[in-house]
Amino acid sequence: MQIRHTLLVDQPAERLWEVVADVERYPGFVPGCELVTVTDRNDERYVTDMRIAVKRIAFELRTVTLTRRPEAIAVRLERGPFRNLEIDWSFAPLTSDACRIGFVLTCEFGPLLENSLSGALLERASRRVVDAFIARAERLGAS
């Protein structure tokens, strides 16, 4: 399954990149994200353990994130209840205060999630998550 969102946003690409890269802050604004621990980090890569709760389903996963500032962030599943999980963010400046965000979620449910999550639920959840990142960038820009 693949889900794509492309949005034009009145925020600088750099600010949105920073919000997405600031994984430790996710529990404060990303719907369903309960806990984040970064176990290894350098300028272009980090490993993250997360606890996610969606509806009545909670699971843990480990991801490896590769960053290319300020254009892209790629998240790859290392361990968790999916057979495959990839998230690709792209940030293209349009002006100094606006950008185009690309979000592509590619996933294949593992046995624990096959009967619990639907494509429609994942589509709605992914849109809420993207909206949460944009709202956070807007709040940071206003302060």
How high is the pLDDT of residue 15? 96
Amino acid 124: pLDDT: 84
What's the pLDDT score for residue 112? 57
pLDDT tens digits, residue range 84-119? 999 999 999 999 999 999 999 999 877 655 555 566
How many Å apart are CA 31 and CA 78, to the nearest integer?
Answer: 22
Q: What is the CA radius of gyration of the chain?
A: 15
HEC string of 3-19?
EEEEEEECCCHHHHHHH
Mean pLDDT along residues 68-83: 94
Mean pLDDT of the chain: 91
Q: Is the pLDDT of residue 6 over 90?
A: yes
Residue with the bigger pLDDT between 128 and 112: it is: 128
| Inter-helix orientation angle 119-142/13-21, to 10° | 120
**What is the pLDDT at residue 13?**
96
Provide the pLDDT confidence category of residue 72 given band limits of 50, 70 and 90: very high
* Under 8 Å between Cβ of 50 and 65: no
Secondary structure (DSSP) of 11-65? S-HHHHHHHHH-GGGGGGTSTTEEEEEEEEEETTEEEEEEEEEETTEEEEEEEEE
Residue 130, pLDDT above cutoff 90 = yes
Does the N-terminal peptide bond of residue 27 adopt cis geometry, omega within 30 degrees of 0?
no
* pLDDT of amino acid 116: 53
**Domains with residue ranges and CATH for the chain:** 2-142 (3.30.530.20)
User: What is the structure's pLDDT at 88?
Assistant: 98
The one-letter amino acid code at 101 reads I
Decide if 105 contacts 89 (C-beta within 8 A): no
Q: Give me the pLDDT at residue 121, please.
A: 72
| Residue 120, token pair as written in the block | 């429609």
